[in-house]
Amino acid sequence: MSDCLFCKIAAGEIPSNKVYEDEQVYVFHDIDPQAPTHFLVIPKAHIVSCGAITAENSAVVAHCFEVISKVTKDLGLTDFRVVSNCGASAGQSVFHLHFHVLAGRDMTWPPG
Ligand code: AMP
Ligand code: ZN
């Protein structure tokens, strides 16, 4: 999608602090970290949110979780939280599917 921040980051058109990349997925540090470790996992394909996942595009979502498992292992993280905000009132501010991975501090439940 031409006017999407995360599409531009995945394409290298806007700089980011990259953690991992493959053909399908891009991983980078959040610009406003909410934990000592806070990175975002995004599909390179534009999907708006969890609410737009279908049988046709869900394979990349499974791949995102394989990447989360690999990257957290590589970083030595055993305890972490994965969050995806879907919709503005749930806290979504960038409308390109992303999974927050947060670690390095105690997490509270329920989230605010
Ligand atoms: P959400 O509010 O769940 O849609 O998450 C969007 C996340 O993107 C927020 O945590 C922002 O801090 C983060 N963010 C926004 N712009 C950038 C950027 N240019 N580079 C890295 N992270 C960003
Ligand atoms: Zn996008």
Q: Is 83 in the pocket of ligand 1 (CB under 6 A)?
A: no
98 is catalytic: yes
Residues of the chain with pLDDT under 50: none
Instruction: State pLDDT tens for residues 10-40.
Output: 999 999 999 999 999 999 999 999 999 999 9
If one residue of 31, 48, 96 were mutated to test the ligand 1 pocket, choosing by the most ligand atoms within 8 A of its CB, it would be 31
How far is the centre of ligand 1, averaged over its atoms, from the C-alpha of 40 (Å)?
8
Nearest-atom index, ligand 1, CA of 92: 4
Q: Is 94 in the pocket of ligand 1 (CB under 6 A)?
A: yes
Contact of 67 with 44, CB cutoff 8 Å: no
**Residue with CA nearest ligand 1 atom 18:** 31
pLDDT of residue 17: 98
DSSP symbol at 101: E
